[in-house]
Amino acid sequence: MTTQPLSALTMLLSRHTKRREFITLLGGAAAWPLAASAQQSGVRTIGFLGQSTRSAASEWTAAFVQRLRELGWTENRTITIEYRWAEGREERFAEIAAEFARLKVDAIIASGTPAVIASRQATSVIPIVFPVASGLVATLARPGGNVTGLATLGADLAGKRLELLREVVPGLRRLAIMGNVANVFTVLELHELQGAAHTLGLEVATLEIRRAQDIAPAFEALKSRADALYVCPEGLASTNRIRINTLALGERLPTMHGYREYVEAAGLMSYGPNFPDMFRRAADYVDKILHGAKPGDIPVEQPTKFDLIVNLTTAKALHLDIPPTLLARADEVIE
């Protein structure tokens, strides 16, 4: 399990909270009366803090809601979900988390490590459930405090993704890695990647981004110095996945991603946990908490389902022949 001193994470997020600016969030002034009314009528309220956009997370939210229905919860009758979307801008995490604390929601679903940290800074009382990188809890068996959920193993999968990329690009020598260095866990993934690439004898060009405006200049600076692009998955990249993949195709770069949603947006391939499955399991955590369980007593679980997704349309556009052995292992082939 990758670990990170919590003091360093707290310092990182505190710098963001000091430079907040006012943002009108989805729901606006009507949010508090709605939540208050729901609580008075016995309806439970969940705050869903999405790191990217509604469209990027549509399959995740659908899986979460479907599982809640299976567990006996009905939207707008026994449970209300307040969705807020950060759109890849980390300064919004603290704003949204503070709003959920004011609304006194019954639980927060926080997608992504910075969102979890912001939520925990906003409240030490409201239970927080997360699909997130490891390192935010005391132990997986007994997380303690008000946080629990599922570990995504993000940095731990870096080497496996590189191996898959080498199968598709057999002459791979120069690798570009794009990552949002404002995200401390993306920085950890970058370190893992650089070490794995060095072991494989690959030259690495790191494209550091912090905001959407950094993406196009990063590609311009690359200037044909790479044979493939690895995109570290997180909120900023998810929000701008179409732009990233369009620019990569323009540079004729095969891309490796962490989520299926990137491959749907013309990325070449992805390998990682099945996030709809993880959000289904997150609903089980919420159900236990709403029935009285303490989040700190519910063990953090590991992913059990991993998906390899390949986009054959993108492969054809890049004039790449995907090895039949890899296609046979793929969980889904997009054509």
Task: Examine the pLDDT at 172 and tell me if it is beyond 80.
Answer: yes
Which DSSP letter does residue 25 get?
Answer: P
When mean pLDDT is compared over 20-29, 71-80, 156-165, the highest value belongs to 71-80
Task: Examine the pLDDT at 226 and tell me if it is beyond 90.
Answer: yes
Q: Which residue has the higher pLDDT, 189 or 316?
A: 316
Non-local CB neighbours of 39 within 8 Å, separated by 6+ positions: 45, 104
DSSP string, 162-180: HHHHHHHSTT--EEEEEEE
User: 309 near 260, Cβ under 8 Å?
Assistant: yes
Mean pLDDT throughout 263-283?
A: 95
Task: Examine the pLDDT at 41 and tell me if it is beyond 60.
Answer: no
Task: Examine the pLDDT at 111 and tell me if it is beyond 70.
Answer: yes
Tell me, what's the pLDDT at 133? 60
Assign 243 a pLDDT band (cuts: 50, 70, 90): very high
Phi–psi pair at 14, nearest 5 degrees: -65, -35
Average predicted confidence (pLDDT) for the chain:
86
When mean pLDDT is compared over 41-50, 179-188, 310-319, the highest value belongs to 310-319
Whole-angstrom CA distances from 206 to 40, 91, 160, 170 are 52, 24, 19, 21
List, in order of start, the domains of the chain with CATH numbers: 6-152+275-297 (3.40.50.2300), 155-273+306-334 (3.40.50.2300)
Name the helix (H) or strand (E) containing 99.
helix 91-103
Q: Which residue has the higher pLDDT, 33 or 80?
A: 80
Amino acid occupying residue 321: D
Mean pLDDT throughout 64-82?
A: 96
Least confident of 48-52, 75-79, 87-91, 326-330: 87-91
Find tokens 């191996």 and name the residue: 163
Mean pLDDT throughout 49-69?
A: 93
Tell me, what's the pLDDT at 319? 95
The pTM is what? Answer: 0.81
pLDDT digits (tens, 9 = 90+) for 180-197: 999 888 898 899 899 999
